[in-house]
């Protein structure tokens, strides 16, 4: 009997023990896979994401949230009382400074204004001939009255002078020298004082009488003025002498009632009558002299114009009347929009009634910043403003005010910042929530690198770079020339000669940016977006440290002051060898069983945009 072929026996064995065979196959496959994976990992190298050094801008911003308010919101108050006779605007109407808002009944104010105008006009207009003549006549009448008053004085005084002489110096006089020995020392002092005043007044009387007799109403006004002045001085002195005599008699009759009591009443009565007469004469002459002065001032005012002080007083009175009249016409204090009108025509307005509310046209965003951000903000910085309630609107503005005094809330200091919103849009209304971005600092045309590429060591900043040889060995074909170009740029930053021109560097960069080629199991691609380009390479050689001097930085990029040149490549990310092999080169277990999925290169890092723009 012929034995079945080996294949048939194997197949028969498999059919009889198919589960055992399946288990054996799975164990072998898994073991082989593990062995293969270990071998691959043992030979794996790390991957590095590279980004070129480029020229761009560093923009430092400060963000905050707040609300919109109007630059001004004012209740327009009436300053006078009365009936509102007209309202000239409506809610929502734009008004300009000085525009009439409402009118209050102004009839009485108008009359007062006209009277003030007339009074002022009388002072500034030229004098009429008849007015000048009347003023001159008033002066003549005043002089006549004054001359008559002086004449009355010199008619009255002889009796007074004679009576005072008898009283003080007559042998039977009540307080004569002969009787004064019976007086107390105090009474004698009063008597002596009265005598001295009398003697002085008599001397003036005698000189004044001679002057009066030599003066007539036809005399020059200067002569009459001197006579009146001397007469006034004399009658004033005589009135003082009589008053002192009256005081002495009163003291004596009070303290020494038995002193010549039979003559006391007569003496007291006489002195009282003389005092009344001299006081009356003194008052009449003073009034007459004042009338002369008043008449002459009126005449001078007519001829030469009003006194400067009087004219200024009349002008101020007119100005006040004009202001009061103007207050009956309520006007807009500044350009703005009428927000509300709480009154109506024919209603009564008081001294502080709100006639309307005006809102300024300038919108302001008020935000609150902490002390760190507030220190970066100053007046005049540009701002971008967005609104929660208005989709798609990005308004522009400028910082107009930064508070100098902070507000402490639960230990946190904050500062209020006001931003003028320059964009005019009727959709922007007070009270809306805003998000603001303040451009605190900006430098254009500087060398920048991604901030992720910068590391520090002992307080010094450095980046990781590859030399030209490493870059060239990891980038085959057309990438080699690109690598050499970038290597030359890197060498230049280390002090070696830069071997290629800027045109070559630009050309190779564009070639590097558009080419993709697999290297073994690693994908090297220099991809580009609008602003940032990256490439990923595999290298068993670790990158070197290149120390740099840095400047400003924003959220994405940092300024490089020295140590790198445009076009140099720096490491922004390192992918560990195991992770690189797992994600980029290890085949799927299912691919060996016929379930292969889509192919292509792996491990490519796409470019992205940052806070800076560059080229």
Label each residue of 313-333 as H, E or C.
Answer: HHHHHHHHHHHHHHCCEEECC
The band of 610, judged by pLDDT with boundaries at 50, 70 and 90, is very low
Q: Which of 120-129, 245-254, 422-431, 472-481 has the highest mean pLDDT?
A: 245-254
Distance, in Å, from the CA atom of 323 to the CA atom of 316, rounded to the nearest integer, reads: 10
Question: Residue 612 pLDDT > 60, yes or no?
Answer: no
pLDDT at 594 over 80: no
Residue 65: C-alpha distances to residues 59, 73, 242, 428 (Å): 19, 22, 93, 16
For the chain, give the percent of residues with pLDDT over 70: 81
Nearest Cα residue to 519 out of 541, 539, 544: 539
On the question of pLDDT at 299 being above 80, the answer is: yes
Q: Distance (Å, rounded) from C-alpha 403 to C-alpha 417?
A: 6
- Region of 156 (left: φ > 0; alpha: ψ -120 to 50; beta: rest) is alpha
Which 3 state secondary structure label does DSSP give 369?
A: strand
Residue 277 near residue 156 (C-beta atoms within 8 A): yes
Q: What is the pLDDT of residue 499?
A: 34
Structure tokens at 337: 């929009």
N-term to C-term CA, the chain: 86
pTM higher than the cut 0.85: no
Handedness of CA 91, 94, 98, 99 (dihedral sign): negative
Cβ burial, residue 372 (10 Å; 0-12/13-18/19+): exposed
Q: What is the DSSP string of 266-308?
A: HHHHHHHHHHHHHHHHHHHHHHHHHHHHHHHHHHHHHHH---H
The more confident residue out of 583 and 71 is: 71
At 270, list the tokens: 């006489």
In DSSP terms, 603 is beta-bridged to none
- Judged against a pLDDT cut of 50, whether residue 33 lies above it is answered with yes
The Cα–Cα gap between 146 and 139 comes to 11
What's the pLDDT at 53? 92
> What is the CB neighbour count within 10 angstroms for residue 286?
15
Q: How confident is the model at residue 609 (pLDDT cuts 50, 70, 90)?
A: very low
Q: Do the bridges between strand 382-387 and strand 354-360 make them parallel or antiparallel, or are there none, so unpaired? A: unpaired
Give residue 43's pLDDT. Answer: 61
Provide the pLDDT for residue 535.
85
In terms of pLDDT, which residue wins out, 66 or 471?
66
Q: Rounded to the nearest 5 degrees, what angle is found at the Cα of 405, between the Cα atoms of 399 and 410?
A: 110
Which segment of 314-318, 368-372, 449-453, 551-555 scores lowest on mean pLDDT? 551-555
pLDDT band at 305 (very low <50, low <70, confident <90, very high): confident
C-alpha count within 13 angstroms, C-beta hemisphere, residue 12: 6
Lowest-pLDDT range of 21-35, 260-274, 461-475, 496-510? 496-510
pLDDT in tens, 164-204: 999 999 988 999 988 988 999 999 999 999 999 999 999 99
In the prediction, which pLDDT does 223 show?
A: 95
- Token pair, residue 219, equals 């005399």
Q: pLDDT band for 72, please (50, 70, 90 cuts).
A: confident
Q: What is the mean pLDDT of the chain?
A: 82
Tokens of 59: 């923009």
pLDDT for res 3: 52
Instruction: Return the ∠ at Cα 410 (arms to 409 and 413), rounded to 5°.
Output: 45
Ranking 149-158, 220-229, 359-368, 396-405 by mean pLDDT, the lowest is 359-368
Q: Which range is least confidently modeled, 309-323, 467-481, 488-502?
A: 488-502
Cα separation, 562 vs 571, in Å, equals 17
Q: Supply the pLDDT for residue 372.
A: 92
Whether residue 83 contacts residue 332, with contact meaning beta carbons closer than 8 Å, is answered with no
276 vs 298, which has greater pLDDT? 276
Please give the distance of CA 535 from its chain centroid, rounded to a whole number.
54
- Whether the per-residue pLDDT at 353 is higher than 80: the answer is yes
Has residue 582 got a pLDDT over 80? no
- Return the residue matching tokens 């450095």: 462
Distances (CA, A) of 329 to 24, 38, 95, 104: 108, 96, 15, 6
CB of 251 within 8 A of CB of 192?
no
Cα–Cα distance for residue pair 288/222, rounded to 1 Å? 15
**pLDDT, position 40:** 61
């Amino acid at each position: 009997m012929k034995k079945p072929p080996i294949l048939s026996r194997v197949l028969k064995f498999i059919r009889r023990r198919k589960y055992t065979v399946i288990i054996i196959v799975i164990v072998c496959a898994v073991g082989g896979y593990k062995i293969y994976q270990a071998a691959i990992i043992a030979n794996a190298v790390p991957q590095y994401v590279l980004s070129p050094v480029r020229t761009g801008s560093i923009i430092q911003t400060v963000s905050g949230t707040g609300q919109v308010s109007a630059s001004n919101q004012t209740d327009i108050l009436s300053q006078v009382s009365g009936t509102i006779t007209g309202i000239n605007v409506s809610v929502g109407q734009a008004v300009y400074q000085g525009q009439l808002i409402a009118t209050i009944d102004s009839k009485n104010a108008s009359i007062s204004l006209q009277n003030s105008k007339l009074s002022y006009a009388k002072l500034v207009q030229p004098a009429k001939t008849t007015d000048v003549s009347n003023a001159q006549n008033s002066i003549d009448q005043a002089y006549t009255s004054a001359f008559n008053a002086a004449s009355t004085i010199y008619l009255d005084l002889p009796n007074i002078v004679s009576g005072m002489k008898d009283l003080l110096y007559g042998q039977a006089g009540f307080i004569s020298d002969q009787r004064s020995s019976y007086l107390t020392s105090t009474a004698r002092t009063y008597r002596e004082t009265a005598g001295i005043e009398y003697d002085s007044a008599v001397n003036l009387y005698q000189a004044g009488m001679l002057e009066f007799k030599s003066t007539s109403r036809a005399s020059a006004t200067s002569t009459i003025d001197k006579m009146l002045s001397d007469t006034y001085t004399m009658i004033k002195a005589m009135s003082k002498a009589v008053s002192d005599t009256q005081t002495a008699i009163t003291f004596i009759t009070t303290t020494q009632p038995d002193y010549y009591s039979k003559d006391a009443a007569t003496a007291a009565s006489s002195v009282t009558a003389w005092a009344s007469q001299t006081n009356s004469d003194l008052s009449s002459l003073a009034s007459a002299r004042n009338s002369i002065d008043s008449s002459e001032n009126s005449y001078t005012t007519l001829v030469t114009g009003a006194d400067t002080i009087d004219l200024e007083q009349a002008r101020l009175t007119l100005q006040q009347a004009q202001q009061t009249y103007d207050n009956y016409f309520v006007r807009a204090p500044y350009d703005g929009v009428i927000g509300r009108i709480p009154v109506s025509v024919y209603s009564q307005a008081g001294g502080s009634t709100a006639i309307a509310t005006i809102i300024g046209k300038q919108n302001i965003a008020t935000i609150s910043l902490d002390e760190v951000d507030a220190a970066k903000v100053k007046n005049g910085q540009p701002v971008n403003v967005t609104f929660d309630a208005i989709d798609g609107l990005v308004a522009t503005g400028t910082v107009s005010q930064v508070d100098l005094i902070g507000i402490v809330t639960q230990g946190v200091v904050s500062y209020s910042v006001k931003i003028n919103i320059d964009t005019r849009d009727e959709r922007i209304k007070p009270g809306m929530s805003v998000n603001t971005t303040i451009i605190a600092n900006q430098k254009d045309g500087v060398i920048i690198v991604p901030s992720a590429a910068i590391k520090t060591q002992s307080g010094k900043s450095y980046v990781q770079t590859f030399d030209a040889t490493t870059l060239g060995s990891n980038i085959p074909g057309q990438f080699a020339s690109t690598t050499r170009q970038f290597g030359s740029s890197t060498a230049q930053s280390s002090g070696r000669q830069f071997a290629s021109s800027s045109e070559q560097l630009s050309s190779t960069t564009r070639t590097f940016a558009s080419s993709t080629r697999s290297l073994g199991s690693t994908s090297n691609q220099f991809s580009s977006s609008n602003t940032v380009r990256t490439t990923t390479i595999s290298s068993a050689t670790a990158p070197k440290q290149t120390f740099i001097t840095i400047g400003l930085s924003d959220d994405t990029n940092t300024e490089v002051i020295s140590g790198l040149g445009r076009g140099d490549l720096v490491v922004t990310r390192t992918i560990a060898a195991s992770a690189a092999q797992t994600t980029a080169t290890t085949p799927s277990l299912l691919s060996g069983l016929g379930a292969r999925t889509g192919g292509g290169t792996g491990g490519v890092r796409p470019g992205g945009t940052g806070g800076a723009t560059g080229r």
